[in-house]
Amino acid sequence: MWTMGIKRIADEEFLIDISLGRSERHRVVFRGSEREAQIAYLRLRKQYGKKSTDIKLIEDALEEYLEHAKLHDEEKTYKERKRVFFGHLLGAFGRFHPDFISSDMIELYQKKRLAEIHETKHGNKGGHRMVNLEIIYLRGLVAWMKEKGYCNEDLSKCRPLKYRRPVPAVLDHQTCLAIIDAMETYWKTFYLCLYLGGCRQDEIKRLTWLKVNLKAHYMIVTGKRQKERMVPLNPTLWTALVAHSMSQVSAQMNRLVFPSPKTNAKLVDIRKAIDRAKARLGIEDHVTPHKFRHSFASSLLRRGKDLRTIQTLLGHEDIQTTQIYMHVDLGMLADAVDSLEE
């Protein structure tokens, strides 16, 4: 038998108390008018009247969702997702049922988080992007809850905060090769994979010999969300990998292509190789491993390769991500305009 109780706990915030007989009781926080709270109760009763175990708040579903995410996310992404939920989202939305999270609530969260970020020592640097990412994580959880039958609706639509992705810094072709050539042989081959293959460092850290086909001149790397793509090996990279395979005692099947020289496990720190090479060349500019991937894309664009080809090689889902490289080389844009004088 159904009984209902709606209790005001704050301005336009109500506790909806739903009881199913003697043994089952569920409480849901709702934000809105009293009339809207009554409608919310009726929606819950309609949805969960036959299956009360499906009544789940954000906090009820989070652990199960994180287990799901752990299977499908990269380790780094999973840790960041978990940190964001327990650090910020759970406190703001944990008590709520997803169907009752409104766009107004999301906007209030955006303002609150921006204020918190502004008060930190980092100021507002990167704040808009950070808050947008947090809402994306929340949206992913709610979409998963909908698939599981824990809620009826996707997260309410709310305008993301304005954010312009910064233009990536790149190195020219000669500088990339000079830095790589100044590295020890092991690291030279690793960084050739980043520059001449356009790969992310994590893709190469976990690359196994099973995924490298030296006879056919390609390797298969696993990118974000476990998506695989084929990376052709140009002559320089192919030659380096052949020599590297001969120097590896365990260059077989499921063994890592680049195990740590010290522990034989997965690599952790790869930046010191860049620092040593820069010191040998007298370069003081800041150079990161990911800059070689950016430089790969920029070098292809300068050589007239189309964006769709570059998108495929980089493994970007959205070509808008690839288009950022159109803004990198002003010299190339100037040459295009100057060609009208010819």
Known catalytic membership, residue 217: no
Catalytic residue among 41, 48, 109, 325: 325
Is 200 an active-site residue? yes
Pick the catalytic residue from 45, 224, 255, 276. 224
- Alpha-carbon distance values, 109 to 91, 103, 127, 135 (Å): 11, 10, 13, 9
- For the beta carbon of residue 216, count every other beta carbon within 10 angstroms: 10
> By CB neighbour count within 10 A (0-12 exposed, 13-18 middle, 19+ buried), where does 214 fall?
middle
Query: Which position among 200, 205, 244, 291 bears the catalytic label?
Result: 200
* Among 79, 290, 308, 327, the one annotated catalytic: 290
Active site residue 70: no
Tokens of 270: 């790869």
**224: annotated active-site residue:** yes
Non-local (6+) Cβ contacts of 203 within 8 A are: 221, 222, 223
End-to-end, the C-alpha distance of the chain in Å comes to 85
Q: Is 186 exposed, middle or buried (0-12, 13-18, 19+ CB in 10 A)?
A: middle
Active site residues: 200, 224, 290, 293, 316, 325
